[in-house]
Structure 1
């Protein structure tokens, strides 16, 4: 039986706890520095508190240290690693190979971040040989490619993104933000170059597409393919979104948790969850109702078009109907959706731009905007990107994760003993009390079970409750039962905490001695930004070592490698479409400020390379 893990993002401690309460088996979170989302950092104290909460349920906490590190930051990085080791984190996500030359914390697993550009079994084997227990695969891989990597490395955990924003470039090989704005994606400061507007130009400089978000991909959603991914060997199903708010985390985590439970329910012999606990949310999750740019499974089943959203990089939300009639300061919507005051709606106007507005008052399907949008016309499709009723439902959710605990009360004439054990964990607690008991006039077992089941505001929910001997003949005051229950649960909580603080992860054995690092066409793509990384690659036999892009500042560089192909997206694929209609190379994209980027189409590897032009 294989354990499946739902891995959710945590912007902060509050989001991390919410993710666990909504069904996550693990969460990933940034520390004070060196995470791939520079805007979100968390104190060591908050990470420690998150670990304590997570470990009660057998959940895990992974911390991102997945940027490239400069020489003057190595001491701070070592200090951070030491601190993370002391507070009980389960794994560290790494990009910079220089960290392998640091003093890594004992018992903390190493995960190779997607920033290490993990496209092949050869790369994954090389990482496993260097002590990485898990590899986060590139988002671009197909199901067959994922399965092939698992078959080649059956003992290496594979983590795959299943939901959230997509980077258009292979992670770790995107230098566009650094080149254009001095904000490095490999340093956690991406300026979202790919969400900007471009013109697409042919070889003569004629405009093919104007003022469009040519590189802005839709969001990934693979909720209907989780079972296929599990069969392909995926261990961990990752939700993107360390910048997302708590309601996004609640909704998406709950949706994927329910889906995994459905799969496990029908295939109990094959799969189980990697953590424990009952997660019953008070809301019904709906992926269409929280932030999304439209959904795609990306390349899971091979190359396809309609991956991008040229009109807008913003969230459009769910389709709610079409404009039926406009009258003065209001309009009617044809459709079955219900609306609430304060809902946010949007539409694509006549200039192919996203236009949004807020509903001031809703009277059935007649809507009164706060300000009537100028571009709204009869027949236009409407989308809701802010659902007030659903947001209120999420905000009011008080769901708490509970551990199922079995209770056993045993009695003799002069002694009571209560034992509590957590289902699925080798963990139990026992308390006893010397007491003289009187014989009962009436049967007591059912009352005893009712009293013991009152676990109130704890992390526990009563499972099986047994009262022994079966012919229970004594009267036990409710006050005594409450005292025993309270003491036993407190002892169980302490036992669980002690058990989790003693968790150690064994280092992975080296199994691929002949594995070699992937060779890149350009030396800066190894992302070597410090002396430890340089030493590491020297020992690996890399020749002609050069510094990272951020330090090298190359001229007219390759700034992106993409499996996404703009030719394919617009029906101009050289292999697939009519040769007579193909626009000849080179194609270029142009930013609003006039800077241009040459597109190179590598049809052998089915890859689009983007080069900056000076």
Structure 2
């Protein structure tokens, strides 16, 4: 288990560090801990990051200032990477790192095994959105922290605390993001970069497609959205005002996003939240000033919101007007000429020569103009006519002016963190003094002790008492220690020279210092990743290939029945229709062994297990389980066939074994993050009946709490007042290269954007079969009855040997309206 620490319920402020300067800035501004990445296995590969060689020096720096260091290994781990991941885990443990932040369940199991002294924190990439989901992870291994999904509200976070009291007995302390950029998709569930460019967000290579412009196509017609083009780009999170409520909700760690940001950002944001947390803990009024808010906006902001923490308000979070850093509004242009402007409706934000600004004309953001103010004359802002680069003919009254940089503020913050001498946080000493006349005196703190060379004598006048001991042993000066308690266990009336007592104190400090500079010894663990792998039993005669079909409409279910499909999955927006689908399937299917399975929602938030009860009442043959909460809910249902879906992110055999055994699953779905080589490695490392592979689908790219339908097709703010345009319109988003992508809502009003081009793995079918894989899936999206029949029959012919991959590809290209790709399976 992790190294013992003094009990501490004080909330922690956790700051990002993409490099050494950011680490120093975080410490100077009052962070309790920092999180950082190494060159591999971290979700911010574009950050400078630290090297293995940096670790000892970095951890020494942090620990000398009473700050903890957490390493992010928050990506999926492929089968061929398990050995190198284990080596990194062992180096991290040897360097004295305090905690690991991990996404991959298999890696978490490996870390708990080979680095038991390092705390284990479940990353937000693990998609923990409900108490039941956390309960399932706790059943796999103990953890010291769980980072919750950013889509949860304060009220929903409170439900975790309530659940721990009532039924689930949750033990893991909670961490939440309180500031920084928001992903539009649920962390761990975004396949956009992987689908469009083979750059997986689950591997630290996010291409930020959510920050790009999109056109809204409604019922086949392009909707004029004016300046609202950034339909998937959320504003940033700033929850400083909500800190008291989060403390009361039981949150133990407050996390700032920003490993790609500057040290000035880290310093400014950290010191604001240090102030907010300290005030909340001492029941002081909100200490955040307008100056603080200005700093937060200026160091980086796309507009600041409370995110999902204050509840759902879709237009507030994602207004669609821009996707880049903005800063605060200065005002609206009242008049302008060649080289100058005046403003009206000003906001009171300070303006000075040298400040950077951008002109918002509601145009394409790639074409908008920005410059630095040259000088200010009266109420006129003057720009250099030559060197500003501005085309003044494009500047018009009515345009909005934003302030994008403040050199004076940046310089002040830089001086602050560069010149700060953060006080070393004192380590409390709980000392015990023991001995008797004729013996050495022993001074002990915990497991560390020193003994005097001088022997205790018998006191004739003033024996050595607790008051004298306390006075001498508390003289710790500028050492990183302070006396917290003293236990006097001296026997008899003892005499001891004060000079010798002071030397004994110095000896103990020296001994304690040596243990700080050297990481505590890491236990030698003989177990390796190989000991955690499943036993591989490959059938000499693999089962014949079988095809399952996922249907999203009753029309598609009928097509699957007419095609003689023996395994049907239903994934309906309205699960109330599941019972009808089950009845239809059992009445119409003429295949005796045919089974119908019902899919759970991809996300379940606190209080949403009612959806699972609705699925149960439909009495299916099996379940397609898509989240950790459903694994927990159905773990004891041995009467149902249970298949874990792609969204569980199974990318290596250790993760597969954990889920198969602990959720009592019959099968798993191969993660969509794997290319064909990685798929083959995975299949070679597990029994060949464990997995099913999706051979044809429209890749579900963004899966998000943000509702595009509500935001841009209604005047409402939530499902309560939006009028449900998702039920009345067919909506696509057109990206910058002209590709249309289908948008659909689910039962929880969460939106999924599906890749408009179908992905097929037909060319790899023979290689997949050679591993013994027998279960293949086709996922339908919006196909009508004829389209569904064509797609199903094309793959039935492939599996039966009546056609080959090239024939299938030609057929699929012919009837897929928006094209076909081999997508993520292709090795780059």
- TM-score, reference length from structure 1: 0.79
Which secondary structure state, in structure 2, belongs to the residue aligned with residue 37 of structure 1? coil
Q: 2:358 touches 2:402 (CA, 8 Å); kept in 1?
A: yes
Shift of residue 365, structure 1, vs aligned partner: 4.7
Which structure has the larger Rg?
Answer: 2
Q: Does 1:569 align with 2:711?
A: yes
Pick one of 71, 75, 98 that aligns with 1:67.
75
Partner of 2:750: 607
Alpha-carbon distance in 1 for matches of 2:193, 2:223: 24
Partner of 1:167: 183
Q: Does 1:301 align with 2:318?
A: no
Structure with greater proportional helix content: 2
Which secondary structure state, in structure 1, belongs to the residue aligned with residue 247 of structure 2? helix
CA change 1:206–1:15 in 2 (3 A) is: closer
Shift of residue 303, structure 1, vs aligned partner: 1.4
Which secondary structure state, in structure 1, belongs to the residue aligned with residue 752 of structure 2? strand
Q: 1:248 touches 1:291 (CA, 8 Å); kept in 2?
A: yes
Alpha-carbon distance in 2 for matches of 1:580, 1:141: 22
Pick one of 218, 225, 228 that aligns with 2:245.
228
Q: 2:710 touches 2:724 (CA, 8 Å); kept in 1?
A: no
Partner of 1:196: 212
Which structure has more RCO (C-alpha within 8 Å, separation ≥ 6)? 1
Alpha-carbon distance in 1 for matches of 2:210, 2:411: 33
Q: 1:323 touches 1:382 (CA, 8 Å); kept in 2?
A: yes
Partner of 1:535: 657
Partner of 1:181: 197
Partner of 1:595: 739
* 1:262-314 alpha-carbon deviations (Å, 9 max, x no partner): 1122279xxxxxxxxxxxxxx99821221110011122232113211422211
Shift of residue 342, structure 1, vs aligned partner: 2.8
Shift of residue 592, structure 1, vs aligned partner: 1.7
Q: Does 1:349 align with 2:361?
A: yes
Alpha-carbon distance in 1 for matches of 2:328, 2:451: 52
CA-based RMSD of the aligned residues comes to 3.9
* 1:224-275 alpha-carbon deviations (Å, 9 max, x no partner): 001101111111111011111111000000110011111122279xxxxxxx
Alignment of 1:212-227 (within 5 A): 212-227=229-244
Alpha-carbon distance in 2 for matches of 1:535, 1:151: 31
Alpha-carbon distance in 2 for matches of 1:338, 1:189: 38
Partner of 1:471: none
CA change 1:212–1:355 in 2 (3 A) is: same
Partner of 1:472: none
Alpha-carbon distance in 1 for matches of 2:215, 2:263: 36
Q: Does 1:29 align with 2:173?
A: no
Partner of 1:257: 274
Partner of 1:289: 298
Pick one of 363, 372, 375 that aligns with 2:390.
372
* 1:85-119 alpha-carbon deviations (Å, 9 max, x no partner): 10011111111122145343121111111111111
Partner of 2:816: none
Which secondary structure state, in structure 2, belongs to the residue aligned with residue 403 of structure 1? coil
Alpha-carbon distance in 2 for matches of 1:431, 1:361: 71
Partner of 1:106: 116
Which secondary structure state, in structure 1, belongs to the residue aligned with residue 330 of structure 2? strand
Partner of 2:56: 48
Shift of residue 142, structure 1, vs aligned partner: 1.3
CA change 1:580–1:487 in 2 (3 A) is: closer
Q: Does 1:242 align with 2:259?
A: yes
Q: 1:560 touches 1:610 (CA, 8 Å); kept in 2?
A: yes
Shift of residue 609, structure 1, vs aligned partner: 1.8
Shift of residue 32, structure 1, vs aligned partner: 2.3
Which secondary structure state, in structure 1, belongs to the residue aligned with residue 114 of structure 2? coil
Alignment of 1:119-518 (within 5 A): 119-131=129-141, 132-153=143-164, 155-209=171-225, 212-266=229-283, 286-304=295-313, 305-334=315-344, 335=346, 336-351=348-363, 353=365, 354-363=368-377, 365-369=379-383, 370-374=388-392, 375-397=394-416, 398-403=419-424, 491=510, 494=513, 497=516, 501=520, 516-517=631-632
Q: Does 1:548 align with 2:548?
A: no
Q: 1:201 touches 1:208 (CA, 8 Å); kept in 2?
A: no
Question: Greater CA deviation, 291-300 or 324-333?
Answer: 324-333
Q: 1:202 touches 1:583 (CA, 8 Å); kept in 2?
A: no
Which secondary structure state, in structure 1, belongs to the residue aligned with residue 669 of structure 2? coil
Shift of residue 584, structure 1, vs aligned partner: 2.5
Q: 1:571 touches 1:577 (CA, 8 Å); kept in 2?
A: no
Which secondary structure state, in structure 2, belongs to the residue aligned with residue 325 of structure 1? strand
Alpha-carbon distance in 2 for matches of 1:139, 1:247: 24
Shift of residue 404, structure 1, vs aligned partner: 6.1
Unaligned runs of 5+ in 2: 1-7, 165-169, 286-291, 430-443, 455-474, 485-498, 524-628, 635-641, 676-694, 758-828
CA change 1:494–1:432 in 2 (3 A) is: farther
Shift of residue 346, structure 1, vs aligned partner: 1.2
Q: 1:201 touches 1:209 (CA, 8 Å); kept in 2?
A: no
Question: Greater CA deviation, 564-573 or 334-343?
Answer: 334-343
Unaligned runs of 5+ in 1: 269-282, 408-420, 434-451, 464-479, 505-513
Q: Does 1:584 align with 2:753?
A: no
CA change 1:207–1:430 in 2 (3 A) is: farther
Shift of residue 583, structure 1, vs aligned partner: 8.3
Alpha-carbon distance in 2 for matches of 1:518, 1:287: 42
Shift of residue 431, structure 1, vs aligned partner: 11
Partner of 1:473: none
Q: 2:247 touches 2:280 (CA, 8 Å); kept in 1?
A: no
